[in-house]
Structure 1
Amino acid sequence: MVRMSTYHDRIAALRAQLKQQNLDGFVIPLTDEHMSEYVGDYARRLAWLTGFQGSAGTAALTLEDAAIFTDGRYTVQVREQVDGSVYSYEDVPRVQVADWLQKKAKPGTRIGYDAWLHTRKWVNAAHAKLKAKGVELVPVDRNPIDGVWQDQPDPSGAPVLVHEDVQAGRSSAEKRADIAAWLKEEGADGVVIAALDSVAWLFNIRGSDVSHTPVALSFAIVNADGSARLFIDPAKISDEVRSHLGKDVTVEPRTDFGAALSGMSGKKMMVDPDTAVAAIFQLLGDAGAQVREARDPAILAKAIKNGTEIEGSRTAHIRDGAAIVRFLKWFADEAPKGELDELTAADKLESIRRESNLLMDLSFDTISGTGKHAAMPHYRVTPESSLTIEKNSIYLVDSGGQYRDGTTDITRTMVNGTPTAEMKDRFTRVLKGHIALATAVFPDGTTGGQLDAFARQFLWQAGVDYGHGTGHGVGSFLGVHEGPQRISPANYPGAGASEPLREGMILSNEPGYYKAGEFGIRIENLVVVEKREIEGMEGDFLGFETVTFAPIALDLIDESLLTDFERQWLNDYHAQVREKIGPQLSDDADRKWLEDATRAI
């Protein structure tokens, strides 16, 4: 474990570096040159500087003050991981980075930022706010953290893998042809593809440059004739991958991407302002290119899964569900002994998943929490933080796997012993919301924001709520968090609540409840948006197919709170779990446990 004194030393070294670069402050986001949520080890500058291990946050500092900015998901976690004597804790969106800098920076000072780590929208807004106080926002030639991070890892050199057409459902040439047709309609010469998962999807390639997300560090430019330039370390590309890419795709060093943008004089280029960093816009503008903002054309196409991808997801979830059942049975046997801890449980679940020899990676760091840690929605267990799962306490495990045929994400909540009446009440209300969303029928064009209250209504009736979205998009052997769709209130961090749900999209259904310092509850399955046929219907309607199958804890349910419809849904769901998962289990004890865990109520 890195001692807190180390972070004192690091921020002192950074301030000394800022003085050398004639800067009076700096902004450190948690992202990379592709605006990624999860980043490679070389780009984990925020974690190195502060100790924060969450997946969303920013730090800012002047020569005198420092702050870390996180939203409500990390209120507890940031205080456990980041030294409050060095950083003030600022809550987003109530306090924005530029607002804090406007108060702390003195007129005439220079605040640095890395143009490869921020969107143009952020830069423009921050520039205007700081300029009003006489503070200059300055792009740096070299990130000052890289100047003091002595053992900073190099970007990954892992080889690229071919994602076969039989798993992708469509060839890269077909996908590029669709983009070329769009470019011609728009009268554009090309489009910059900067998001790592978009590049992976477009070229039907996968990598291992980012933990838990099978992508390769790369940029791409697609031209109006369907040809493309892929900017990636050529050493990562085997002869097999080159053959797969074909003659219409040229492979160029990732380090040449900036120079390529500088050579776009007179070209009409489409660029996504949400996924392309400010430096891309700056280089194109300086080159004399005509830049038009437009959504990355791979974003929506990637989110709407084809039949091959949907069937692959179903298959992956059956395989994964068998591993979950084996883990739940093991937990039921081991937890009552009083020695099981969070880290051991997480390691056991991963080892069971790996027994199939088909797991490529976890889809994210397993959230394995009991007691107060279960009340932290994005808790990450470490050897130092791991708690023993005590008697009569709740244990929450949110986990997932990356398989060649699909990406999984599932949360189950269990009790080691006897739950309190409050635990059962809250669990049942979460279950009722989960069922309400799973069985929702809605007109084509409905957004995730319109559906979010379906899952919260029963908690609201008890005067409680949860501080995260209800559902996120999920990729096909890609990111476990994938846009553009989302089920959440419109005012929550991140975009997507206003995106219409479309047939073929995969989302999570994961309402929860968290009592700070005591316990947390979440029930999560993945669902596929599908068409609904209703007698006499006027217009097109959609609903959800649940593709995750694992028992929901019966001993945490207050049956008196369930309606007949909800009881029937649960019994039908558990019957499907027995039907689909039972044949995947080779051990008689596992099958017997599953029968009891999915008994009708």
Structure 2
Amino acid sequence: YLPPTATNTSARLAGLRDILRARGVQAYIVPSTDAHMSEYISQRDARLGWITGFTGSAGTAVVTQDKAALWTDSRYWTQAERELDCSWELQRTTSIESIAMWIIKAVPSEGNVSLDPFLFSIDTWNSYSRALQGSGRTLLPLETNLVDQAWGDQRPPPSSSEIYSLPAEFTGSSWQEKVAGIRQQMEQHLQHPTAVLLSGLEETAWLFNLRGDDIPYNPVFYSYTLLTNTTISLFVEQSRLSGAARESLTSGCPGPLCVELQEYGQVSAHLRRYAQGNVTVWLGTEYTTYGLYSIIPQEKLLEEKYSPVMITKAVKNAREQEMLRAAHVRDAVAVVQYLLWLEKTVPQGQVDEFSGAQHIDALRWAQEHSRGPSFQSISASG
């Protein structure tokens, strides 16, 4: 019996297992993250959801030739029971040790356990490596994502929406001033790094005063940045940059404030070439993937939890503080309008939770400078 809330994943698993066999892989680990360790992800990156049918925001799946299991925390147990079909085992824990123990039981000795290194943080990779050490199972990174292969042309396409410049009236600092500030921190650091690698989507968006909508409710776009003492490389889908954004980025050419635009997929190759020189790359380990981290020789790394960009952007300048307060006032206007609408409409018996959420969203959209809600409205009554 398959409940109506569950997805039949038999064909999806069969396709993935064919690929595993062809690759000589005995187990494949699928996380719920994207290549930037984002808290929220796009539908294109919802690999865990596609292979399992589970739509919760956190979890890990492992697929072998004859078994499949999902690990998630207690927030999602009931949801997982409703959404998983009979092909899946639900594991009510999230520890890497428990995942590794399951793998050791399911995979014969000398078997390969594979994953996409560009979807796992440095700490998570190291935890899997330690947990499987001495078990006879080999942790094998594969840069080709096998779920993407199985998903094929059914996978949602990448975003094609415009990447736009944030007007100076909102930022309080030009991107050139921000770059100069980060370079000053590089010079003042005891280890004198020659470059900063930015992997977090909000880092590049903040640094260049650019915005997009690649992830629902988040004004970011897929990108990386390598900022050196003398050069700036922005890895992004160039065709999506608005004319104003492109003009802003290239206004300092030639020179140290000239942004060299490269395609998003070129970051690994560029980083590999850069790391061959006499360099030190500063990165934030919290949101850099093991895939990028492993490209840079250990002796050329400056590892800190957060990059100087992430630390600097957390301290809001006077203009940003003013904009935050103004945004809260505009949102308060929308909420008051909504409460007035409820007072008039509820007695007529025509409001339910869904229509209420739609109405407050519309009121917020109508406010000046609105770019939409920061999360899906949570509407409840009773």
Q: TM-score normalized by structure 2?
A: 0.88
Partner of 2:240: 236
Q: Tell me the alpha carbon deviations over residues 479-502 of structure 1, each in whole angstroms, 9 at most, x when there is no partner.
A: xxxxxxxxxxxxxxxxxxxxxxxx
Q: How does 1:474-493 map to 2 (within 5 A)?
A: none
DSSP-derived class of the 2:9 partner? helix
* Matched position secondary structure for 1:356: coil
Deviations 1:502-559 (A, max 9, x none): xxxxxxxxxxxxxxxxxxxxxxxxxxxxxxxxxxxxxxxxxxxxxxxxxxxxxxxxxx
Other structure's SS at 1:301 match: helix
Give unpaired runs (5+ residues) of structure 1.
370-394, 396-414, 416-601
User: 1:93: how far off?
Assistant: 4.6
Go from structure 1 to structure 2 and tell me whether the alpha carbon gap of 1:89 and 1:359 turns closer, same or farther (over 3 Å shift).
farther
Q: Give the share of equivalent positions with the same residue, in percent.
A: 29
Q: Secondary structure at the match of 2:193?
A: coil
1:283 aligns with 2:283: no
Q: Which structure is higher in RCO with an 8 Å CA cutoff and minimum separation 6?
A: 2
Q: Tell me, yes or no, if the aligned pair for 2:207 and 2:309 is still in contact at 8 Å.
A: yes
Q: CA deviation at 1:365?
A: 2.2
> How many angstroms does 1:35 deviate by?
1.0
Please list, as runs of the form range in 1=range in 2, the aligned pairs for 1:424-573 lying within 5 A after superposition.
Answer: none
CA 1:367–1:46: 2 relative to 1, 3 Å: farther
Deviation per CA, 1:439-486, whole angstroms, max 9, x where unpaired?
Answer: xxxxxxxxxxxxxxxxxxxxxxxxxxxxxxxxxxxxxxxxxxxxxxxx
Alignment of 1:9-20 (within 5 A): 9-20=11-22
Q: Could you say which residue in structure 2 is the equivalent of 1:274?
A: 286
Per the TM alignment, residue 340 of structure 1 is displaced from its structure 2 partner at its CA by 4.3
Judge which range, 354-363 or 169-178, deviates more.
Answer: 354-363
Corresponding letter in the other structure for 1:310:
Q
Q: d(CA) in 1 for partners of 2:315 and 2:374?
A: 20
Shift of 1:113: 0.3
Alpha-carbon deviation of 1:367? 2.6
2:246 maps to 1:253: no
What code does the residue aligned with 2:267 have? F
> Once the 2 structures are TM-superposed, how far is the Cα of residue 356 of structure 1 from its aligned partner?
2.6
What do the CA deviations read for 1:156-191 (whole angstroms, capped 9, x no partner)?
122211012221111111211121112122311101
Contact 2:5 2:83 in 1 (8 A): no
The Cα offsets for residues 101-150 of structure 1, whole Å up to 9 and x where unpaired, read as 33433322211100110012211221221132111111113111111113
SS in 1 for 2:28: strand
Q: Distance in 1 between matches of 2:4 and 2:312?
A: 43
| More strand, by proportion | 1
Structure 2 equivalent of residue 306 of structure 1: 317
Q: Is the 8 A contact 2:53 2:84 kept in 1?
A: yes
TM-score of the aligned structures, taking structure 1 as reference length: 0.57
CA contact (8 A) 1:40 1:155 kept: no
Structure 1 residues 19 and 331, CA gap change in structure 2 (3 angstroms) = farther
2:174 counterpart residue number: 171
Partners in 1 of 2:149 and 2:195 — Cα distance? Answer: 35
Q: 3-state DSSP class of the match of 1:4?
A: coil
Structure whose CA Rg is larger: 1
Shift of residue 2 of structure 1?
Answer: 8.4
CA shift for structure 1 position 206: 0.5
Inter-CA distance 335–65: structure 2 relative to 1 (3 Å threshold): farther
Q: Is the 8 A contact 1:7 1:49 kept in 2?
A: yes
Distance 1:346 1:95 in 2: 41
Match of 2:229 in 1: 224
Q: Describe the superposition over 1:266-288 as per-residue Cα deviations: whole angstroms up to 9, x where unpaired.
A: 32111221111111112223xx8
- Could you tell me whether the CA contact under 8 Å between 1:212 and 1:364 is conserved in 2? yes
Task: Tell me what 1:121 maps to.
Answer: 123
The structure-2 alpha-carbon separation of the partners of 1:5 and 1:70, relative to structure 1 and needing over 3 Å to count, comes to: closer
Cα distance, 1:27–1:272 mapped onto 2, change above 3 Å: same
Structure 2 CA distance for aligned equivalents of residues 106 and 343 of structure 1: 50
Q: 1:181 aligns with which of 163, 178, 184?
A: 184
Paired letter, 1:275 = Y
Deviations 1:25-77 (A, max 9, x none): 11111121111111222211112122332332222222233222223433433
* Secondary structure of 2:109 counterpart: coil
Q: 1:113 to 1:2 in 2, by over 3 A?
A: farther
Matched residues, number = 368
Q: What is the deviation of 1:94? A: 8.9
Q: Deviations over 1:346-396 (max 9, x none)?
A: 222212222336321221222334xxxxxxxxxxxxxxxxxxxxxxxxx2x
- Amino acid aligned to 2:243: D
Q: Kindly indicate which of the two structures has a greater share of residues assigned to helix.
A: 2
Give the partner amino acid of 1:220. Answer: T
- 1: CA distance between counterparts of 2:134 and 2:330? 57
Amino acid at match of 1:276: T
Residue 22 of structure 1: aligned partner: 24
Task: Show the counterpart of 1:343.
Answer: 354
1:41 and 1:155 in contact (8 A); partners too: no
* Aligned-partner Cα distance in 2 for 1:331–1:154: 40
Deviations 1:64-91 (A, max 9, x none): 3322222343343333333466231322
Report the CA distance shift for 1:5/1:220 in structure 2 as closer, same or farther (over 3 A). closer
Q: Select 2:155's aligned residue among 152, 155, 158.
A: 152
Per-residue CA shift, 1:227-246, capped at 9, x if unaligned? 41101111012331122123
Deviation at 1:13, TM superposition (A): 2.3
Aligned residue in 2 for 1:207: 212
Q: Which amino acid aligns with 1:270?
A: W
Q: CA separation in 2, counterparts of 1:197 and 1:134?
A: 40
**SS of structure 2 residue aligned to 1:31:** coil
One-letter code of the match for 1:132? G
Which residue identity lines up with residue 27 of structure 2 in the other structure? G
Instruction: Say which of 324, 328, 347 aligns to 2:339.
Output: 328
SS at structure 2 position matched to 1:192? strand
Structure-2 change in CA distance of 1:16 and 1:329 (3 Å): farther
Return the offset for 1:336.
Answer: 6.0
- In 2, Cα distance between the equivalents of 1:91 and 1:339? 43
Aligned residues of 1:30 and 1:37 also touching (Cα < 8 A): no
Secondary structure of 2:38 counterpart:
coil
